[in-house]
């Protein structure tokens, strides 16, 4: 018994050259060999980032009780502000996913619109985080006050630096799409950015749970 090959969606380029050829459909525009695939190197980069954050989490877990007589997380953390930060970052993850889908289908307007909201929500998150840091420093609870605060500013600040780098990355990607169009290299880089941004969301959920919720309850 002969097994029929799987059907692919999207018309093959060979049809235009030979009008009698059987149409082949593919899921993405362009040859199948140019479908967007993220390389192993980027996955290794993401894994190394998770390992680095794990080390910072471990340091925080060890030092979270070392307040040196200073303020504790329960006294410092404002969960309403942190909840607003979380909502902004999760919303940016949704719009980032929408922009990645629009890139796959080469819909320029949707890419720019979704990316604009991704940048906006990410900037709101950073603004809230910076204002939180400024308030704590103004109250005399800076990173030099205790080992607990040093570890807190380190792990949360490291995540904030990643978000800042992500916003710069997104800006560069939009510039490349505007100047170079939806070439395979640009599309692959945008997909890498989207994966990076979603990874930051996962790390923030862990931060919100371990650092803020557990710290406010202690």
Same domain? 68 vs 147: yes
Percent of the chain with pLDDT over 70: 82
pLDDT in tens, 142-194: 999 999 999 999 999 999 999 999 999 999 999 999 999 999 999 999 999 99
pLDDT of residue 27: 41
> In terms of residue numbers, what domain contains 21?
1-35
Is 17 in the same domain as 44? Answer: no
Q: 68 and 107 in one domain?
A: yes
31 and 41 part of one domain: no
| CB distance 103 to 190 below 8 Å | yes
Residues 143 and 207 in one domain: yes
Q: Assign residue 193 the CATH number of its domain.
A: 1.20.120.80
Place of tokens 């996955």: 43
In this structure, are 73 and 131 located in the same domain? yes
Q: Is 199 helix (H, G, I), strand (E, B) or coil?
A: helix
Q: Calculate helix-pair angle for 108-138, 79-104, nearest 10 degrees.
A: 160
- The domain tally of the chain equals 2
Q: Are residues 13 and 46 in the same domain?
A: no
| 195 and 180 in a common domain | yes
Q: Cα–Cα distances in Å, from 80 out to 84, 128, 134, 216?
A: 6, 11, 16, 12
Of the pLDDT bands very low, low, confident and very high (cuts 50, 70, 90), residue 24 is: very low
Do 2 and 47 lie in one domain? The reply is no
pTM: 0.80
Same-domain pairing of 30 and 64: no
At 105-144, the pLDDT tens digits run 999 999 999 999 999 999 999 999 999 999 999 999 999 9
Do 172 and 194 fall into the same domain? yes
Tell whether 196 and 109 lie within a shared domain.
yes
User: What's 71-140 look like in SS3?
Assistant: CCHHHHCCHHHHHHHHHHHHHHHHHHHHHHHHHHCCCHHHHHHHHHHHHHHHHHHHHHHHHHHHHHHHCC
């Amino acid at each position: 018994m002969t097994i029929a090959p799987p059907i692919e969606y999207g018309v093959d380029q060979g049809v235009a050259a030979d009008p009698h050829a059987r149409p082949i459909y593919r899921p993405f525009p362009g040859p199948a060999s140019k479908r967007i695939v993220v390389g192993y190197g980027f996955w290794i980069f993401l894994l190394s980032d998770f390992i680095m954050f794990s080390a910072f989490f471990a340091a925080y877990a060890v030092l979270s009780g070392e307040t040196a007589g200073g303020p504790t997380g329960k006294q410092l953390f404002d969960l309403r502000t942190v909840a607003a930060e979380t909502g902004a970052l999760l919303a940016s993850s949704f719009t980032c996913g929408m922009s990645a889908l629009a890139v796959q289908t080469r819909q320029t307007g949707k890419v720019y619109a979704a990316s604009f909201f991704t940048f906006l929500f990410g900037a709101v998150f950073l603004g809230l985080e910076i204002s939180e840091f400024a308030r704590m420093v103004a109250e005399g609870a800076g990173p030099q006050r205790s080992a607990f605060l040093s570890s807190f500013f380190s792990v949360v600040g490291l995540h904030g630096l990643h978000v800042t780098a992500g916003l710069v990355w997104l800006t560069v990607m939009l510039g490349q799409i505007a100047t170079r169009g939806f070439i395979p290299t640009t599309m692959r880089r945008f997909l890498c950015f989207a994966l990076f941004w979603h990874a930051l969301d996962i790390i923030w959920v862990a931060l919100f749970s371990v650092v803020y919720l557990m710290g406010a309850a202690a």
